[in-house]
């Protein structure tokens, strides 16, 4: 386990302040505000701390305000319902006295029933794709040659150690985006072995599920997070857990974007394990507003 993954596990170990009240810290990942996946995963951890013997099977969250990376986040859990099969929790993430995220999560006791799933698309294995870090560093070097004033936070995004490893099927250059089909596929895994705790793996998956969904909605328009004429931010996020999962083994994230309109783009994702089992599904709407030069 590298330092960043160890730090992520620490971030998910929330401090208990009072019954139904928890506190988490934040990390600067190089963005303008707290990474949305962090707030989602910490909110899910807070909810799981109030539930017994029922793993989470879905969550739905709205991002309300940008998070302050310099301040802790307080998570307030509302025990909406405790049922024999399903349990529901509502979580408010609060900073400076205001909610920055509102999440509702549902939990279910394990139960046998009918099963089916869409098959995993035929794709190269992560081993066949190889280590793509050198390609990303080459893109960064080329961009620095064109733009020596590239903000340090963007350089940091490309060079920092990460809690996850990624392998793109056909990696787009975020500094020089081209028009692409409205879909992409990415292998990912935690950068080290995690403890054998199924709830931790689901919470870490919630953290990772926010990566690249909004970027998918930008592909057909030759834009990226780094395009200077774009304001991009997550609006909401939904995640469904279908089967037990280990996030420290390779998972394949198959994403598409069926529509964009009214400065909002919708992205969907199916997450498969190496054996082709569909372990989770995700959906997200993002703000993708083009701005005029000053």
Q: Is 68 marked active-site?
A: no
Question: In the annotation, is 128 catalytic?
Answer: no
Q: How far apart are CA 89 and CA 96, in angstroms?
A: 23
Sign of CA dihedral 157, 98, 265, 61: positive
Euclidean distance between CA atoms 141 and 241, whole angstroms: 39
Continuous H helices in 124-193: 126-129, 133-146, 152-159
Residue among 54, 106, 224, 234 flagged as catalytic: 234
Strand partners, 91: 77, 103
Active site (annotated) includes residue 197: no
Q: Which of 95, 254, 281, 284 is catalytic?
A: 284
b/e 53-81 (16+ beta carbons within 10 angstroms → b): ebbbbbbebebeeebebeeebbbbbeeee
Decide: residue 136, CB within 10 A, 0-12 exposed, 13-18 middle, 19+ buried: middle
Annotated catalytic residue, options 54, 95, 209, 210: 210
Alpha carbon of residue 203 to chain centroid: 10
Tokens of 62: 């709205």
Instruction: Look up tokens 């250059």; give the residue.
Output: 173
Are 93 and 61 within 8 A, CB to CB?
no
Produce one character per residue of 9-35: b if its CB has 16 or more CB atoms within 10 Å, e if not. bebbebeeeeebebbbbbeebbbebbb
Active site amino acids: 210, 234, 284
């Amino acid at each position: 386990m590298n330092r960043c993954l160890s730090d992520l596990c620490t971030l998910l170990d929330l401090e208990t302040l009072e019954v139904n009240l928890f506190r988490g810290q934040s990390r600067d990942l190089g963005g303008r505000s707290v990474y949305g996946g962090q707030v989602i995963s910490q909110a899910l951890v807070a909810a799981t701390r109030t539930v017994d013997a029922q793993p989470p099977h879905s969550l739905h969250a709205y991002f309300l305000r940008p998070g302050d990376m310099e301040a802790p986040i307080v998570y307030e859990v509302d025990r909406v319902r405790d049922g024999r099969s399903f349990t529901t929790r509502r979580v408010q993430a609060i900073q400076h006295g205001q909610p920055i995220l509102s999440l509702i999560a549902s939990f279910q006791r394990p139960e046998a029933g009918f099963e089916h799933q869409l098959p995993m698309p035929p794709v190269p294995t992560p081993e066949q794709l190889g280590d793509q870090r050198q390609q990303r560093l080459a893109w960064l070097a080329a961009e620095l040659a064109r733009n020596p004033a590239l903000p340090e936070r963007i350089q940091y995004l490309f060079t920092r150690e990460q809690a996850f490893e990624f392998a793109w099927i056909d990696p787009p250059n975020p500094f020089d985006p081209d028009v692409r089909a409205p879909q992409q596929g990415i292998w990912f895994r935690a950068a080290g072995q995690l403890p054998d705790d199924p709830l931790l793996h689901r919470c870490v998956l919630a953290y990772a599920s926010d990566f690249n969904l909004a970027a998918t909605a930008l592909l057909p328009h030759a834009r990226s997070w780094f395009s200077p004429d774009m304001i991009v931010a997550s609006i909401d996020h939904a995640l469904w857990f279908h089967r037990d999962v280990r996030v420290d083994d390779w998972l394949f994230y198959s994403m598409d974007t069926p529509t964009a309109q009214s400065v909002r783009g919708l992205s969907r994702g199916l997450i498969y394990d190496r054996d082709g089992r569909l372990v989770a599904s995700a959906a997200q709407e993002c703000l993708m507003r083009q701005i005029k030069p000053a």
